[in-house]
Amino acid sequence: MKKIFGYFDVMVKQCFLFFICALIVLYFFGCVNKSEPNLLGSWVDDKVIYYQAYDAKWDDPSINPIFENEWEAKDYAHRNNMGSKLAQDTSHSYIVRVINYRYEIRQVNDWQDEVLHTTNSRQDGVKYVEQFSSAHEDLYMYDLKTGELIINSTP
């Protein structure tokens, strides 16, 4: 048996000692992470985030404002939630969600009303509308913070 396994018991002892040493090092020094944990996911790394009082039944950007502080968005949602199940489509039911953009470019016409592009830069949004205005005459850029229409591609 000794010839088959040779110094197997010595190797087991060395592996066991290495494992114990590694546990001691981890116990005293731990796994050190130099950066703060990002609880919102990788899409907000080093970007500005906003809190939006969002009502899924209403696509109008002036009805779904954004705020820099979560408490402002929660206050707005609390003050403007209204109606009941009897009111059906005419009531507001706001939730507060986190978004990473201030401006949105929407295509609004008789057939659709959808977001095509989002950005934090006003200049980038204007450039997008100007670039695609030849293909779409129904692009609208909104500032979600103020609810104002910035530019549109209609002649």
Q: Which two tokens stand for residue 128?
A: 């997008």
Selection from 136, 134, 146 nearest residue 114 by Cα = 136
pLDDT tens string 28-48: 776 655 444 544 444 444 578
Same domain, 95 and 53: yes
pTM to 2 decimal places? 0.64
Of 40 and 68, more confident: 68
Query: Per the structure, how many domains does the chain have?
Result: 3
Question: Based on the domain organization, do 93 and 44 belong to the same domain?
Answer: yes
Q: Tokens 């809190």 map to which residue? A: 51
Answer for the pair 139, 105: CB distance below 8 angstroms, yes or no.
Answer: yes
CA–CA distance, 130 with 81 (Å, rounded to integer): 37
Token pair 């206050």 is found at: 75
Does one domain contain both 123 and 76?
no
Let me know whether 46 and 83 are in one domain: yes
Domain span at residue 8? Answer: 1-31
Residues 96 and 42 in one domain: yes
pLDDT digits (tens, 9 = 90+) for 84-114: 555 555 677 888 999 999 999 998 888 888 8
**Angstrom distance (rounded) from CA 113 to CA 22:** 58
Contacts 24+ apart (CB under 8 A), 108-114: 108/138, 108/140, 109/138, 113/59
Looking at the fold, whether 95 and 114 belong to one and the same domain comes out as no
Domain identity same for 88 and 114: no
Residues 93 and 107 occupy one common structural domain:
no
DSSP class of 110: S
- Tokens of residue 81, six digits: 């939630």
Same domain assignment for residues 111 and 93: no
Q: Domain boundary at 78, 100, 122, which?
A: 100
Same domain, 23 and 54: no
